[in-house]
């Protein structure tokens, strides 16, 4: 049976289809090194907003920033510097309001 046949023959209870990729968790140092060096094969698999277990993870690449904050329901929240060359990360139980708004301080 082909993959197409399997997807067509799914029962309604099987939807939505299973996620093909594991949730994004803490990126390994090698992934972040490859990202900032423009060598990562899937930069948007690391950057942006992703599910992280039961919560949410947002990563941004701002190489000239000394500080980055993301708008949350309670106001702007400082993001953690995840890589010395400008990757910042934020984790929360709920996703930030859309569209995502950042406050960036450049050094």
Q: What is the pLDDT of residue 78?
A: 97
Distance (Å, whole) CA 85 – CA 64: 8
Does 3 fall in a domain? Answer: no
Q: Is residue 19 part of a domain?
A: no
Q: What is the pTM of this model?
A: 0.73
The total number of structural domains that make up the chain: 1
Q: Is residue 105 reached through a cis peptide bond, with omega within 30 degrees of 0 on the bond before it?
A: no
Q: Residue 104 burial by CB count (10 A; 0-12/13-18/19+): exposed, middle or buried?
A: middle
Digit-coded pLDDT (tens) for 25-77: 456 788 999 999 999 999 999 999 999 899 999 999 999 999 999 999 889 99
CATH number, domain with residue 95? 2.60.40.10
In tens, the pLDDT along 7-30 reads: 444 454 444 433 333 333 456 788
Distance between CA 89 and CA 25 in Å, rounded?
Answer: 11
Predicted local confidence at residue 95, as pLDDT:
95
Q: Does any domain span residue 89?
A: yes
Whether 102 maps to a domain, the answer reads yes
In the prediction, which pLDDT does 42 show?
94
The answer to whether residue 10 sits within a structural domain is no
| CB neighbourhood size of 15 (10 A) | 8
Q: Which residue range forms the structural domain that includes residue 92?
A: 24-106
Q: How far is CA 105 from CA 59, 67, 78, in A?
A: 16, 5, 11
Q: What are the backbone dihedrals phi and psi of residue 99, each rounded to the nearest 5 degrees, phi first?
A: -70, 150
pLDDT at 20: 34
């Amino acid at each position: 049976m082909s993959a197409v046949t399997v997807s067509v023959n799914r029962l309604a209870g099987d939807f939505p289809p299973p996620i093909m990729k594991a949730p994004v968790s803490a990126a390994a140092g090698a992934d972040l090194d490859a990202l900032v060096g423009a060598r990562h094969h899937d930069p948007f698999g690391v950057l942006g907003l992703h599910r992280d277990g039961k919560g949410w993870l947002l990563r941004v690449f701002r190489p000239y920033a000394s500080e980055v904050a993301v708008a949350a329901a309670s106001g702007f929240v400082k993001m953690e510097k995840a890589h010395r060359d400008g990757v910042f990360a934020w984790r929360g139980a709920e996703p930030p309001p859309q569209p995502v708004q950042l406050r960036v301080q450049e050094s």
